[in-house]
Homo-oligomer: A and B are copies of this chain.
Amino acid sequence: MKKYKVAVVGATGMVGRTFVELLEERKFPISELRLLASENSTGEKMVSGNEDIRVQVLNGDSFDEINFAFFSAGTEISKKFAPIAVKAGAIVIDNSSAFRMDDSVPLIIPEVNPDALKRHSGIIANPNCSTIQMVVVASPLHDAATIKRIVVSTYQSVSGQGKDALMELRQQCEALFAGKEISLEIFPHQIAFNLIPQIDIFLDDGYTKEELKMVIESRKIMGLPNLPVSATCVRVPVFNSHGISLNLEFEQPIDVKTARSILFKASGVTVLDELKSNRYPTPQSASDKDEVFVGRIRKDDSIENGLNLWVVADNLRKGAALNAIQIAERMI
């Protein structure tokens, strides 16, 4: 079996660590794993299988002989170094938003639009975390009954904001329990035991960039440039895994039983919907799992053909590193 030289850019971040863990767990055929990060992480060692790998400083020569480069170090790093990696011969799978809406860059969820992988110029974009879990569930239902409109509200965990955000949530909780003042570094407001209805910056129309991503990325992935999508994104005091409350309106009738059986068969989806035993997806049970979990599937009687669903997935896995690795797996 052919083996590949793989680089992880942003290796010491939350998503970077998940990349290293999942590449090992999924036995991705690797001949060399090159871990790249900023100077701050120089000299750090990370464990992959039985190996200790020293983190290297990212620079223009980092991609020599690399076959796959997974980027997860923010938009600016992707903009600067992805073209360098492509020029060096690597295929870049980019977790930032730098290239997602670029017409020459496929935006891929392997379960949804693998065919779009055929045309690329070296860079493949990985969608936004909340978009991925929404589309993995919405797409098979769209195939059955044609989605007319989506109204989505998210409940997004802090791990999407990085390591420091996890620390901030914990430190604020501890400070509050000790009756001390909390400090704000990462989030604009207290996140402990609070809700922040803002993820990313505000745009002129009053939506956040995160909300816009859910609209435009799902349209691109599903190949429906005019799909009406209305999104509200909220940060919640959960360490990991995002929840979304998904309201779908369809052109054709679709009942709960049909929807459940479609989702039961859908790739990458696990239906968890046993109300008698209070079983439905929660972030706590979805964390460290690969699947997108869906439950609370019910008819929305406020419109002719409507469904409500509750969807939870590990935003570091399917929402980021796992989806990117699955893209690479499709390409080898």
How far apart are A88's CB and chain B's nearest CB, in angstroms?
41
Q: Is there an interface contact between B194 and A238, defined as CB atoms closer than 8 Å?
A: yes
Q: Is there an interface contact between A195 and B238, defined as CB atoms closer than 8 Å?
A: yes
- How many copies the complex holds: the figure is 2
Chain B residues with CB under 8 Å of A202's CB are 275-276
Q: Is there an interface contact between B302 and A198, defined as CB atoms closer than 8 Å?
A: no
Chain B residues with CB under 8 Å of A170's CB are 177
Choose the segment among A8-16, A113-121, A126-134, A277-285 that binds chain B (4+ C-beta atoms closer than 8 Å).
Answer: A277-285
Tell me if A319 is interfacial: C-beta within 8 Å of chain B.
no
How far apart are A215's CB and chain B's nearest CB, in angstroms?
8
Tell me if A1 is interfacial: C-beta within 8 Å of chain B.
no
Q: Is there an interface contact between B301 and A243, defined as CB atoms closer than 8 Å?
A: no
Against B, the Cβ 8 Å flags (1 = close, 0 = not) of A232-275 are 10101111000101010000000010000000000000000001
Distance A273 CA – B118 CA, assembled complex (angstroms): 45
Which positions 157-214 of chain A face chain B at CB distance < 8 Å?
A: 169-170, 173-174, 177, 188-190, 193-198, 202, 205-207
- A interface secondary structure, majority: mixed
Q: Is there an interface contact between A195 and B275, defined as CB atoms closer than 8 Å?
A: no
Chain B residues with CB under 8 Å of A308's CB are 230, 232
Tell me if A155 is interfacial: C-beta within 8 Å of chain B.
yes
Q: Is there an interface contact between B297 and A206, defined as CB atoms closer than 8 Å?
A: yes
Q: Is there an interface contact between B193 and A237, defined as CB atoms closer than 8 Å?
A: yes
> A245 touches which one: B189, B232, B275, B299 (CB < 8 A)?
B232
Chain B residues with CB under 8 Å of A43's CB are none
Distance A302 CA – B276 CA, assembled complex (angstroms): 35
Distance A205 CA – B302 CA, assembled complex (angstroms): 14
Distance A2 CA – B272 CA, assembled complex (angstroms): 58
Chain B residues with CB under 8 Å of A295's CB are 197
Chain B residues with CB under 8 Å of A65's CB are none
Tell me if A149 is interfacial: C-beta within 8 Å of chain B.
yes
Chain B residues with CB under 8 Å of A303's CB are 149, 228, 230
- List A residues at the B interface (Cβ < 8 Å): 149-151, 153, 155, 169-170, 173-174, 177, 188-190, 193-198, 202, 205-207, 228-230, 232, 234, 236-239, 243, 245, 247, 256, 275-276, 278, 280-285, 295-303, 306, 308, 310, 312
The 7 closest A-B pairs by CB, nearest first: A228-B302, A206-B298, A153-B153, A153-B245, A230-B302, A202-B275, A194-B284
24 contacts across the A-B interface (CB closer than 8 A)? A155-B234, A155-B236, A169-B193, A173-B177, A174-B177, A189-B285, A193-B237, A193-B238, A194-B282, A197-B280, A197-B281, A197-B295, A197-B310, A198-B280, A206-B275, A207-B298, A228-B302, A229-B302, A230-B300, A230-B306, A232-B245, A232-B310, A236-B236, A247-B247
